[in-house]
Structures are given as structure tokens and as C-alpha cells.
Chain A
Amino acid sequence: DAKTTQPPSMDCAEGRAANLPCNHSTISGNEYVYWYRQIHSQGPQYIIHGLKNNETNEMASLIITEDRKSSTLILPHATLRDTAVYYCIVRVVRNAGNMLTFGGGTRLMVKP
């Protein structure tokens, strides 16, 4: 199973871009990178996922390096409501299952 490494915490000023890094150096060729976030005492919320190309949606952008060993989630204009724990996850396939393995994540604090 590919593991991920994220910094435990980061700060970002409101209105600025938040860049959250993730290392996944043992990722396999058919494993996707997923990002979720969890606001305190709520269920995780899906943000974005990708295989090797950069992806963008209404919430964020995902930049994956060419060797796929790391990625960066970008929140272009962070707001106070973006304060949450952000999880970078590499998909694990087990018995044709659809598993997600959550690590410790990065606690992002957006400050006024």
C-alpha cells in the first residue's frame, strides 16, 4: 500500500492561496491521489482526485509531479471556512474493493 506524508499543520492568511503538499513516493502506476477535508466533528468531504494530470474543480486544484511521487492541493483564495484537516490519500485496491486509507492529514488554519 502506498503511504502518504503530509505536514501536521499549516497556516494561511485569508484570501491568499493555500498550498498543501503531500509525498507519496511509493505510489503505483494505477493508484489515484485523492484529497478530502474534515471540518471539526463532521464527516470528511471529498475535494478532488487525479491520476497523473493536473486537475481543477470549483473547490481546488491538484498538481501532481511528473514522477507522481508528490502532489500539491491548492485552495486559490482561502477563507475562514476552509479551516479543516486535509487528507491526502492514495487509493488502495483490495479484493476489487474501493478502499481509502486515511493518515494524520494536515491541519490548515486560515487566519484573518
Chain B
Amino acid sequence: DGGITQSPKYLFRKEGQNVTLSCEQNLNHDAMYWYRQDPGQGLRLIYYSQIVNDFQKGDIAEGYSVSREKKESFPLTVTSAQKNPTAFYLCASSTSGYTDTQYFGPGTRLTVL
């Protein structure tokens, strides 16, 4: 089955620790995205990547880092510099055309204790 997978679904970390969230897609999509969602809020863009080995900051990139070494993978690291890391993190992908539809993974809920 084609799709986007995120792991794990729930993640707990102690304050001050870096944590990496996984996102994998087998849709052969060029573009991938990371969003953050806080309770009762819409999604906010953290980082996006249009092509392998290239990525751009979104609206709330501070305290986060990404890499795009493979087309299929776009891991997100939440660093200790992120002041309020507890949130629901969503990964998405799309082909690179102007009117492309983004398809989302199931999300990872990160709780920092």
C-alpha cells in the first residue's frame, strides 16, 4: 500500500533531550512537509523540502532541524532549544507541481515531561 508513515504514534521525552520524529513515504513524491498542531488550533508549517538535499524553513522553524538525504524520508528533530515542544506533529508529502494535493501521515503526539 502506498502512503505516509510516521513513527512512533506517541512519544515521551524528558525536558532538555533532543528527539527525532520519523516520516517515510512510498508515494514517490518530491516534496515533504512538517507541521505542528497545538490543541484546538490549526496546523503551522515547520519545515518543507521540495527536493532531496534541500529544505526551507516554514513559519515556526526555531528549535527544530530536518534532513532530506533520501526522497522517501524527512526526519524532524525537536531540539532542546524548542521552548514548548509538546504538540501533535504531522508530516505530509506531495508531488512538486503547483496544484498538488498534500497527503498527510497519521501524526506523532510528542509529550515532553
Contact = CB atoms under 8 A, between A and B. Distances in A.
A104 to B, nearest CB: 5
Nearest to B50: A97
B107 A98 contact: no
Contact of A45 (B31, B56, B104): B104
Nearest to B103: A46
B100 A43 contact: no
26 contacts: A34-B101, A41-B88, A43-B90, A43-B104, A43-B105, A43-B106, A43-B107, A44-B92, A44-B104, A49-B99, A49-B101, A87-B42, A97-B56, A98-B50, A98-B96, A98-B97, A98-B100, A99-B45, A99-B58, A100-B43, A100-B102, A101-B45, A102-B35, A102-B43, A103-B42, A104-B41
A98 B102 contact: yes
A42 B103 CA distance: 12
B64 to A, nearest CB: 17
Contact of A97 (B43, B48, B90): B48
Which size bracket describes the interface of B in this complex? 20 to 34
Contacts of B109: 41
Nearest to A87: B42
Contacts of A42: 106-107
Interface residues of A, number: 23
Given A98-B96, A104-B41, 16 more contacts: A34-B101, A41-B88, A41-B107, A43-B90, A43-B92, A44-B104, A46-B101, A46-B103, A49-B99, A97-B48, A98-B97, A99-B58, A100-B43, A100-B45, A100-B102, A103-B42
Contacts of A96: 50
Contacts of A34: 101
